[in-house]
Amino acid sequence: MWTWFHRLASPPTFYRLADRFAPWFGIAATGLLAYGIVGGLFFAPADYQQSDAFRIIYIHVPAAALSLSIYMLMASAALVAVIWRIKLAECVLVSAAPIGASFTALALVTGMLWGKPMWGAYWVWDARLTSELILLFLYAGVIGLNQAIEDPRAAARACGLLALIGVINVPIVHYSVEWWNSLHQGSTILKMGKPSMNADMAQPLYACLLGVYFFMGYVLLRRTQNELLLRERGTAWVKERLESSNV
pLDDT at 246: 67
Domain spans of the chain, in order of start = 22-41+54-184+203-231
Question: What are the backbone dihedrals phi and psi of residue 141, each rounded to the nearest 5 degrees, phi first?
Answer: -65, -45
Report yes or no: 61 and 196 within 8 Å, Cβ to Cβ.
no
Q: How far apart are CA 103 and CA 100, in angstroms?
A: 5
The whole-number pLDDT of residue 118 equals 77
pLDDT at site 138: 98
Do 67 and 98 meet the contact criterion of CB atoms below 8 Å apart?
A: no
Beta pairing partners, 51: 47
- pLDDT for position 209: 97
| Whole-prediction pTM | 0.91
Sign of CA dihedral 233, 238, 239, 243: negative
What are the backbone dihedrals phi and psi of residue 245, each rounded to the nearest 5 degrees, phi first?
Answer: -75, -20
Query: Taking the chain (247 residues) in consecutive chunks of 10 residues, what is each chunk's mean pLDDT?
Result: 67 94 98 96 84 88 96 97 93 98 97 83 86 97 97 95 97 83 59 65 95 98 96 90 74
What would the DSSP string read from start to end of 116-176?
Answer: HHHHSSS----HHHHHHHHHHHHHHHHHHHHHH-SSHHHHHHHHHHHHHHHTTHHHHHHHH
Q: What is the pLDDT of residue 91?
A: 97
In Å, the largest CA–CA distance within the chain is 63
Per-residue confidence (pLDDT) for residue 174, from 0 to 100 = 87
Q: Quote the pLDDT of residue 46.
A: 84
Q: Give pLDDT, residue 145.
A: 96
pLDDT, residue 139, reads 98
